[in-house]
Amino acid sequence: MKVKLVNIAYYFLVVLVSVGLIYGVNNAPNEFLKVLLYFHARSVEVYYNLPMLYINGIGYTANDCTFTIGRECMGTNFIVLMFSMNACMFTSHFEGFGKLLWFLISLIGAAAAGFLINSFRIIASIPFVTHQKFVLLHSGLGISLYFAALAASYIFINTLIRRHGRENIY
């Protein structure tokens, strides 16, 4: 009974943090948004040698205003999905303090993967920014990358846990 209550509390915490992340990013003030989007904008600056300018309420925009990296480009839903999937699917392999560590590793890993994948998606989409079907190309690339990353994450973690050969890691 105690283990069941701990699991329910754990899943509730995952949902609470997930909803908090989505709400927090969607309502983040400009100063915070500028910091969150900096990595994405900086990767574009480095890759294309193209200066990006931050505009309050909009995001980072190219000097020629052909594209903008805004709040929607952060992939918050993907980060929350990866975090929730990893945190919940593999939690049964951890006990006690290990559950908390797994929670933190899932959150940090999802954020890191999200920043990397979204930066790649943005960089790969920029050459098509003037294409008539840009939104479809950009969205399709994002969905493909997100699905591949979720599958790869699941396979990697599942393989790692199976190789360990124990029911519970901690």
pLDDT tens for each residue of 55-99:
998 999 998 878 999 998 889 999 999 999 999 999 888 888 889
Joined together, the tokens standing for residue 17 give 């943090």
Question: Minimal CA–CA distance to 151: which of 75, 85, 102?
Answer: 85
pLDDT tens for each residue of 126-164:
999 999 999 999 999 999 999 999 999 999 999 998 887
> Is the model's pLDDT at 166 over the cut of 90?
no
> Is the model's pLDDT at 169 over the cut of 60?
no
Rounded distance between C-alpha atoms, residue 113 and residue 153, angstroms: 9
Question: Minimal CA–CA distance to 152: which of 107, 80, 86?
Answer: 86
Rounded distance between C-alpha atoms, residue 105 and residue 120, angstroms: 22
pLDDT at 94: 85
Joined together, the tokens standing for residue 127 give 């050459």
Show the CA angle centred on residue 104, arms to residues 99 and 109, nearest 5°: 125
